[in-house]
Amino acid sequence: MCGFSGYFGTVRDGRALLERMTAAIAHRGPDEQGFFTTKAAGLGHARLSIIDLGDGQQPMSDATGDLTIAFNGEIFNYVELREQLRAKGRHFRTASDTEVILHLYDEMGEDCVSALNGDFAFALWDGRRRRMVLARDRMGVRPLFYTRQGERLYFASEVKALLQAPGVAAEIDPVALDQIFTLWAPIAPRTAFRNIYELEPASLMIVQEGSVSTRPYWSLEYPDREAPPRHRDERAAAEELRALLTEATRIRMRADVPVGAYLSGGLDSSITSALAAGMAPGGLRTFSVTFDSAEHDESPFQLEMARALGTHHSAVACGEGDIAAVFPDVIRFTERPILRTAPAPLYKLSSLVREAGLKVVLTGEGADEVFAGYDIFKEARVRRFCRRQPGSRIRPHLFRKLYPYLPGLRQQSAEYLFSFFGASGAALDDPLFSHRPRFDGTAATKLFYSGDLRATLSGYDAAEELAARLPEAFARWHPLHQAQYLEARFLLPGYILSSQGDRMAMAHGIEGRFPFLDHHLVEFAAGLPPEMKLKGLVEKHILREATKDLLPAAIGRRTKQPYRAPDSQSFVGPGTRDYVQSALGDAAVSAGGLFNPKAVAKLHEKCSRQPASGFRDNAAFVGILSTQLWLTTFTGTGICNAKAA
């Protein structure tokens, strides 16, 4: 797990540029740096040593010197691949997974990616064919950004490295901003930066003189809803799931350093921790975040699970003021505006892991996408149920059951519940039916746009663009699978794995590993009948069945509690930090040009007066504040002092 940067094309003093680019992402690889340059290309690498600590330096060339790679991530099946390659007569100089990619590329060309089971992004210079191959893992765990400047192409693990390249300037992309303020994330390849893009998950880019081509090498697919089910026997499916998950965890324990685990107290991380605990020779270390506020805190469940597994457990408290204290740094690493503060506690958590001396953690991320854990899946099912009997005064009460933690719903009538969830609105054949209330509710934050931004975006509809990006087969999938696809293909890489995942962990040089995102498990789960995943309104049913012997009953039966953190209330009240006042003040908002200063002032005043504001006000507050911090951090626009002193 590391960071890399590079270029294709002729660059004056390329080595010095690579040093600057790599220095900008040194947090991703604090152990060592390396560089490679030719007349036509260059690679820089910042290494976090996890496998083959002595000999795994990068960029790494093959024995001929024709192939050179800079690689970020891990190939978890590298042991098996190495044995297969040895059987073909190939000789290895190191014990690293990096060298396995070089040999595999030599054998198969860029199609080698289909043999890799891992979380990876890499740039491979093929001197024989004078081309650069860029690749990214299937689910989008590891990042890879690029930008073109005339005939040159620059690429890196984070945008901040690209900003070191000549001619590359940071400027907000208003369309990306609108996508965030509707969908919670930009639609790849777009990023928050104008003219800077990300390579999409499961994609290859081939760069050679005069041409750049990009293509997917894998796609997430679900069965046609009319097709006979691939799995009919629930017990057999549970056994297969357990075997796949155990194997996915086993190969993710491979490292030459100790592997720990995040433990949220929920089902998913409890399962990964339980499996890992049986595979950690010296005992497992687990790590959690706790909150002062009861509505966010899960520490009783964390402690129960840690006791049950006998792990060496550590927790970091996220108390009043802690989120505001780190928020400017969080935005420096997310490199995009965000609508929720949820990444901030994870930033603190990775710091705790680093202080404990670990570099690698397993997490339960991905289970909610793969096994239908999110409330939005249940919500869509209830909305369809309500639509069958629109006058019912009973059915809409199910919405309250779905969201017991939302105070605004507790006192609402059936009629209002029906209205809030759009049960009367979206067409049943709308491809975005499952997510329409979320997108519409989020889009209400655009009320704060400035006149100029509204004019720039006139006629643009982010949800419409998302719908246009769906595959042709989407219409033939079961509604639950359609909803799962939207989460797994867009929000997972676009927000969960990036803003909450890679970027928060790598800010402190921590590698997250995700057993639930092993592509064999993902493909298996996609083929399961919907009712094995969401049984009635019980989420992740088959996963619970497959792992019930691993967990205390209270954990195994737990209803999904979404991971949330205090939003606007983190930034108001006594002890408000100066940067908040400054970033949301008239001068900074006017200078940024994106929001209406008077409306922002009223929002700030309202949230200060009444911290328990609803979803829209919280999302708008965090979205505007993070955008203002983004502008200050990356463009220097605005006058706010973003230091969290």
Partner 1 sequence: MTDTIRDAVKAFVIENFLFGDTTHALADTDSLIENGIIDSTGVLELVAFIEDHCRITVADADIVPANLDSLARITAFISAKTASLVAA
What is the binding site for partner 1 (CB under 8 A)?
Answer: 406-409, 411-413, 415-416, 419-420, 425, 440-441, 443-444, 447-448, 596, 598-600, 602-603, 606, 610, 612-617
Burial of 205 (C-beta count, 10 Å sphere; 0-12/13-18/19+): buried
Report d(CA 567, CA 341) in Å as an integer: 6
Least CB distance from residue 586 to partner 1, whole Å?
Answer: 13
Nearest-CA neighbor of 639 among 598, 584, 577, 568? Answer: 584
Report the residue number, 416 or 474, with the smaller CB distance to partner 1.
416
Torsion of CA 208, 214, 217, 223, to 10 degrees: -170
Least CB distance from residue 294 to partner 1, whole Å?
Answer: 19
| Residue 300, number of CB atoms within 10 A of its CB | 11
- Angle among Cα 364, 548, 537 to the nearest 5 degrees reads 75
**Whether residue 59 has a cis bond before it, omega within 30° of 0:** yes
Nearest-CA neighbor of 78 among 102, 58, 44? Answer: 102
Least CB distance from residue 602 to partner 1, whole Å?
Answer: 4
**Which sign does the torsion angle of CA 433, 437, 438, 442 carry?**
positive
Report the residue number, 86 or 602, with the smaller CB distance to partner 1.
602
Report the residue number, 448 or 630, with the smaller CB distance to partner 1.
448
542 has which bridge partners? none
| CB-based contact 417:399 (threshold 8 Å) | yes
Q: How do beta strands 2-8 and 152-156 pair? A: antiparallel
Least CB distance from residue 486 to partner 1, whole Å?
Answer: 20
Report d(CA 131, CA 124) in Å as an integer: 8
Least CB distance from residue 456 to partner 1, whole Å?
Answer: 16
Least CB distance from residue 467 to partner 1, whole Å?
Answer: 19
Report the residue number, 439 or 495, with the smaller CB distance to partner 1.
439
Least CB distance from residue 405 to partner 1, whole Å?
Answer: 13
Q: State whether residue 62 is helix, strand or coil.
A: coil
Report the residue number, 179 or 499, with the smaller CB distance to partner 1.
179
Length of the chain as a residue count:
645
Report the residue number, 319 or 407, with the smaller CB distance to partner 1.
407
Report the residue number, 419 or 641, with the smaller CB distance to partner 1.
419
The radius of gyration of the chain from alpha carbons, rounded to an integer in Å, stands at 24
Least CB distance from residue 408 to partner 1, whole Å?
Answer: 4
Least CB distance from residue 219 to partner 1, whole Å?
Answer: 34
Report the residue number, 217 or 615, with the smaller CB distance to partner 1.
615
- Angle among Cα 39, 43, 49 to the nearest 5 degrees reads 155
Amino acid identity for residue 448 in this structure? F
Report the residue number, 471 or 611, with the smaller CB distance to partner 1.
611
Q: Residue 489 is encoded by which pair of tokens? A: 């293909």
Least CB distance from residue 355 to partner 1, whole Å?
Answer: 38
Place of tokens 């290494």: 47
Report d(CA 27, CA 23) in Å as an integer: 8
| CB-based contact 153:141 (threshold 8 Å) | no
Least CB distance from residue 459 to partner 1, whole Å?
Answer: 17
Least CB distance from residue 599 to partner 1, whole Å?
Answer: 4
Report the residue number, 96 or 613, with the smaller CB distance to partner 1.
613
Report d(CA 504, CA 511) in Å as an integer: 10
Strands annotated E in 491-639: 511-513
Nearest-CA neighbor of 155 among 304, 64, 279, 25? Answer: 25
Report the residue number, 54 or 408, with the smaller CB distance to partner 1.
408
Report the residue number, 357 or 390, with the smaller CB distance to partner 1.
390
Q: Residue 366 is encoded by which pair of tokens? A: 């991905």
Strands annotated E in 471-555: 511-513
- Which residues are CB-contacts of 602 (< 8 A; sequence separation ≥ 6)? none
Amino acid identity for residue 327 in this structure? F
Report the residue number, 154 or 448, with the smaller CB distance to partner 1.
448
Report the residue number, 280 or 409, with the smaller CB distance to partner 1.
409
What 8-state DSSP symbol labels residue 18? H
Q: How do beta strands 197-198 and 118-126 pair? A: unpaired
Report the residue number, 428 or 447, with the smaller CB distance to partner 1.
447
Report d(CA 194, CA 172) in Å as an integer: 6
Nearest-CA neighbor of 60 among 136, 7, 116, 124? Answer: 124
| CB-based contact 108:39 (threshold 8 Å) | no
Torsion of CA 25, 30, 34, 35, to 10 degrees: 10
